[in-house]
Amino acid sequence: MKYFYTILFFLFLPFFAFASDYKLEKVISNLNKPWGMSFIDDDNILVTQKSGNILKINLNTKSILKLEHNLAVTDPHWQAGMLDILYSDGYIYVSYTEDRGGEKTSTSIAKGELVDNKIINFNNIFQSEPPVENQLHWGSRLVIKDKLLYASVGERALGSVAQDPSNHIGKIIRIKTDGSSPEDNPFVNNPSWLPEVYQIGLRNPQGMALNSNDGGVYITNHGPKGGDFFGKVVAGSNYGWMDVAWGGVDYDGSIIGDGSAWKEGLLKPIYRWIPSIAVSNLIFYKGNQFPELKNNIVLTSLKAKKLIKLDFIDGKASNETVLIKGMGRFRDVEQNEIGQIFVIIDDDESGIWELKYN
């Protein structure tokens, strides 16, 4: 009988995996500060680099093809450069820091077609307004839900402007894939709101994902010194920056607002990190290769250098588990249709790694 239970234990071991049961296996080398990834199919993936490059990479043959484009990406320094990428139905969408002239820049979104390993008809469909001069807090992630494009825009270190709906700064925007505004955006008929604005009060939202189980769009957001959070995108709602700091303080230790982590009328984050981990992109895992991760969250951390699992049940996140730590600043995590999980690290000598069992 004891042999029977031993067999059962090993048969179902993957369902009870611990952090030490995972490793990362490098599949692609020679990348320089990659920022975003998006699968074309199970083997081919698009990757952005902060330098402005858009790469098409085959994970089996290891071929790396640089795709030419005509976008005016600002010089890649610190947080600026080419940001997220999303492939959908033959089209490529990218967010990037656009040179708007006179040292002013914006978080912008362009759309083009991928034809014969070339990007054609690549044009802006969105520019965050107004353009500003500093090089901080761009956001920016992209998600398509029901043929509508959701994008996160950072508040460019301008603080309370995130509360002003007459600009795009510190907001979630929601547009059609041609750049026009949906008729059902929450304040499309209010002249004091820009029609693309869907949610306000964010600081630097660097992660966004669609949960196919409940149809919700979810984000991660950088707090200041403490107060990173995971939360939901809700039409017309306000996360409160910088009237509140979600439990964080300014970098000099001073209080932000009146020190409240939340106030009546604001949307509450679902999960917070104090101290901050510089939370970046996330996925809701839907594959079968890691049964213990299914329907839960896998997210990346820059500062803490961790790949993390959060249980996600009935709209609540709990039981934080570190899957991988210490390898570098995890920038993005993506999954293909067969359930493989891949990550990139924000480093000069980087690559693509696949999550595996030890």
Q: Is residue 10 part of a domain?
A: no
Per-residue pLDDT tens, the chain, 358 aa: give them.
Answer: 544 444 443 344 444 566 679 999 999 999 999 999 999 999 999 999 999 999 999 999 999 999 999 998 887 677 889 999 999 999 999 999 999 988 899 999 999 999 999 999 999 999 999 999 888 898 899 999 999 999 999 999 999 999 999 999 999 999 999 999 999 999 999 999 999 999 999 999 999 999 999 999 999 999 999 999 999 999 999 999 999 999 999 999 999 999 999 999 999 999 999 999 999 999 999 999 999 999 999 999 999 999 999 999 999 999 999 999 999 999 999 999 999 999 999 988 999 999 999 9
44 and 59 in contact (C-beta within 8 Å)? yes
The total domain count for the chain is 1
Residue 181: strand pairing partners: none
Query: 87-100 b/e with 16+ CB inside 10 Å = b?
Result: beeeebbbbbbbbb
Distance between CA 322 and CA 304 in Å, rounded? 11
Q: Is residue 6 part of a domain?
A: no
Phi/psi at 305 (nearest 5 deg)?
A: 55, 55
Q: Is residue 212 part of a domain?
A: yes
Of the candidates 49, 88, 79, which has an alpha carbon nearest to the alpha carbon of residue 67? 49
pTM: 0.93
Q: Is residue 335 part of a domain?
A: yes
Residue 90 contacts by C-beta under 8 Å, 6 or more apart in sequence?
113, 114, 115
Q: Is residue 116 part of a domain?
A: yes
Q: Is residue 12 part of a domain?
A: no
Distance between CA 48 and CA 352 in Å, rounded? 12
Q: Give the count of beta carbons closer than 10 Å to the beta carbon of residue 65.
A: 12
Give the chain's end-to-end CA distance (angstroms, integer).
Answer: 28
Distance between CA 323 and CA 307 in Å, rounded? 5
Q: Give the count of beta carbons closer than 10 Å to the beta carbon of residue 247.
A: 21
Sheet containing strand 197-199, edge to edge, reads 139-145, 148-153, 171-176, 197-199
Range of the domain at 114: 24-357
Element (H, E) at 205: strand 204-210
Of the candidates 357, 342, 332, which has an alpha carbon nearest to the alpha carbon of residue 281? 332
Q: Is residue 14 part of a domain?
A: no
218 and 282 in contact (C-beta within 8 Å)? yes
Q: Is residue 333 part of a domain?
A: yes
Q: Give the count of beta carbons closer than 10 Å to the beta carbon of residue 163.
A: 17
- Supply the CATH number for residue 51's domain: 2.120.10.30
